[in-house]
């Protein structure tokens, strides 16, 4: 079976880890392709930072800092601490020493003329991930927020890490979107999949920027594969991060059913056929079904790998 997952960072990484675990037990020959958001990416002190690609890679490699949710295990910060003395970089954005190894390697490949997708293939080859990671695009399409105060733009990453998404914004723009194209293999991975999954990632700044790359949304709408999503919202609250600030900025309620309706039923011109919500949101099943989307309430908290594997099994079961 070929499964393609559209994802962002932490929530997506845990979900894909669960999907890999489930398929190892039930369909060892299955192929998993993750199409990963690159809207969070940026150049910082001449290094290309790709947070979501790194979160997914480190998690699948068992090298992720499970507590912080980003960065690597057994990390140290000698370099970034010293760089502060030079007054370069973002003091609010901590680059660990081992994490810098990844950024230096990626930047080396990019500076050598390789596209991000090839750099990613070479970097991820270091670990037997069992999942193919493809960036949504090889082009530099970065998410910026539009500040309510004066309409100026700020890179999403500064709004997110420096201001904790607390600065009022009126929306998001994808800088560099015009003329951008999906990375090699992205459209085929969606069109030729047996199942397409939307990981429980931020609908606005993770899933949204992937769908925004010209050609990707149309390919999701047109694929013969069922498209099943997993709610990133449980009982009206985000699981982690500040997705509520993002949803509010685009006028979507922070609720499992609201996000389903935001994606819309494929049978009515939208993107999804099925939607998993948490048991605490079970009362929303009828409304989601009334919108043309098959819904099921299951335990959504991915506290352990077995729980994540069960969630992946529940998502695939919704195909049936
Ligand atoms: N998030 C923070 O809140 N503070 C940080 O200092 C920080 C550093 C960082 C470095 C590398 C990286 O790949 C991710 C990092 N993140 C940090 C997380 C990052 O903002 C998020 O992973 C996503 O970009 C937002 O979903």
Name the CATH architecture for the domain at 2-140+178-317.
3-Layer(aba) Sandwich (3.40)
- How many CB atoms neighbour CB 98 within 10 A? 16
Q: Does ligand 1 have an atom closer than 6 angstroms to the CB of 54? A: yes
| Alpha-carbon span 74 to 60, nearest angstrom | 16
Order of strands, edge to edge, in the sheet holding 274-278?
A: 132-135, 31-36, 2-7, 195-198, 227-230, 274-278, 294-298
Q: Does ligand 1 have an atom closer than 6 angstroms to the CB of 58? A: no
Which pLDDT belongs to residue 183? 98
Type and span of the H or E element at 84: helix 78-86
**Which residue, judged by its Cα, is nearest atom 3 of ligand 1?**
161
Q: What is the mean pLDDT of the chain?
A: 97
3-state DSSP percent of the chain in helix, strand and coil, to 5: 40, 20, 40
- Three-point CA angle 142, 143, 147, nearest 5°: 135
The minimum-distance atom of ligand 1 relative to the CA of 10 is 22
| Alpha-carbon span 301 to 240, nearest angstrom | 11
Type and span of the H or E element at 144: strand 142-147
Which pLDDT belongs to residue 240? 81
How much distance in Å is there from the Cα of 70 to the middle of ligand 1? 6
In sequence order, what are the residues at sequence separation of 6 or more whose Cβ sits closer than 8 angstroms to the Cβ of residue 320?
none
The minimum-distance atom of ligand 1 relative to the CA of 54 is 13
Spatial contact of 158 and 43, defined as CB atoms under 8 Å apart = no
Which pLDDT belongs to residue 5? 98
Q: Does ligand 1 have an atom closer than 6 angstroms to the CB of 55? A: yes
Strand-pairing partners, residue 171, are 146
Spatial contact of 77 and 65, defined as CB atoms under 8 Å apart = no
For residues 185-200, give the mean pLDDT: 98
**Which residue, judged by its Cα, is nearest atom 23 of ligand 1?**
51
| Alpha-carbon span 291 to 274, nearest angstrom | 11
How much distance in Å is there from the Cα of 51 to the middle of ligand 1? 6
Per-residue confidence at 239, pLDDT binned at 50, 70, 90?
A: confident
Q: Would you say residue 132 has pLDDT above 80?
A: yes
How much distance in Å is there from the Cα of 37 to the middle of ligand 1? 14
Spatial contact of 130 and 30, defined as CB atoms under 8 Å apart = no
Q: Does ligand 1 have an atom closer than 6 angstroms to the CB of 71? A: yes
| Alpha-carbon span 40 to 307, nearest angstrom | 28
Q: Would you say residue 69 has pLDDT above 90?
A: no
Type and span of the H or E element at 297: strand 294-298
Question: Any idea which of 82-86, 104-108, 238-242, 257-261 has the lowest mean pLDDT?
Answer: 238-242
Q: Does ligand 1 have an atom closer than 6 angstroms to the CB of 181? A: no
- Three-point CA angle 198, 246, 242, nearest 5°: 85
Q: Would you say residue 235 has pLDDT above 80?
A: yes
Task: Return the percentage of the chain with pLDDT > 70, whole number.
Answer: 100
Per-residue confidence at 15, pLDDT binned at 50, 70, 90?
A: very high
How much distance in Å is there from the Cα of 201 to the middle of ligand 1? 15
**Which residue, judged by its Cα, is nearest atom 13 of ligand 1?**
51
Per-residue confidence at 320, pLDDT binned at 50, 70, 90?
A: confident
Closest CA to 308 of 125, 66, 82: 66
For residues 182-200, give the mean pLDDT: 98
Question: Rounded to whole angstroms, what are the CA distances from 257 to 238, 294, 300, 301, 315?
Answer: 13, 12, 14, 17, 16
Q: Among 10, 47, 161, which is best to mutate for testing ligand 1, by the most ligand atoms less than 8 A from CB?
A: 161
Residue that has been written with the tokens 């998502």 in this structure:
315
Q: Does ligand 1 have an atom closer than 6 angstroms to the CB of 161? A: yes
Q: Would you say residue 160 has pLDDT above 90?
A: yes
The minimum-distance atom of ligand 1 relative to the CA of 94 is 6
Q: Does ligand 1 have an atom closer than 6 angstroms to the CB of 200? A: no
The minimum-distance atom of ligand 1 relative to the CA of 51 is 13
How much distance in Å is there from the Cα of 253 to the middle of ligand 1? 25
Give alpha helix (H) positions in 229-303: 243-249, 256-263, 285-290
Q: Among 11, 42, 51, 67, which is best to mutate for testing ligand 1, by the most ligand atoms less than 8 A from CB?
A: 51
Burial class (CB in 10 A: 0-12, 13-18, 19+), 177: middle
Domains of the chain, by residue range, sit at 2-140+178-317
């Amino acid at each position: 079976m070929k499964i393609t997952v559209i994802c962002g960072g932490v929530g997506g990484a845990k979900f894909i880890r669960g999907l890999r675990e489930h398929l190892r037990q039930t369909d060892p020959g299955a192929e998993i392709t993750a199409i990963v958001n690159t809207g969070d990416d940026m150049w910082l002190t001449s290094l290309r930072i790709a947070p979501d690609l790194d979160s997914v890679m480190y998690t699948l490699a068992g090298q992720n800092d499970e507590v912080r949710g980003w960065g690597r295990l057994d990390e140290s910060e000698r370099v970034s601490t010293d760089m502060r003395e030079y007054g370069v970089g973002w003091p609010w954005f901590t680059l660990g020493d081992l994490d810098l190894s990844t950024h230096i390697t990626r930047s080396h490949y990019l500076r050598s003329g390789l596209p991000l997708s090839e750099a990613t293939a070479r970097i991820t080859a270091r670990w037997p991930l069992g999942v193919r990671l493809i960036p949504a695009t090889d082009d530099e399409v970065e998410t910026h927020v539009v500040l309510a105060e004066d309409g100026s733009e700020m890179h999403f990453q500064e709004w997110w890490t420096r201001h904790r998404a607390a600065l009022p914004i009126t929306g998001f723009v994808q800088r560099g979107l015009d003329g951008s194209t999906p990375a090699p293999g992205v459209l085929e991975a969606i069109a030729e999949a047996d199942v397409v999954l939307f990981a429980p990632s931020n609908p606005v700044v993770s899933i949204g920027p992937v769908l925004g790359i010209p050609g990707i949304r149309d390919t999701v709408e047109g694929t013969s594969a069922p498209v099943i999503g997993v709610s990133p919202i449980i009982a009206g609250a985000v699981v982690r991060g500040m997705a509520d600030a993002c949803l509010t900025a685009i006028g979507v309620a922070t609720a499992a059913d609201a996000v389903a309706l935001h994606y819309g039923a494929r049978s009515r011109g939208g993107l999804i056929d099925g939607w998993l919500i948490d048991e605490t949101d079970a009362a929303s099943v009828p409304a989601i079904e009334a919108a043309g989307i098959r819904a099921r309430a299951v335990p959504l908290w991915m506290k352990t790998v077995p729980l994540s594997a069960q969630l992946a099994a529940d998502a695939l079961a919704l195909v049936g």
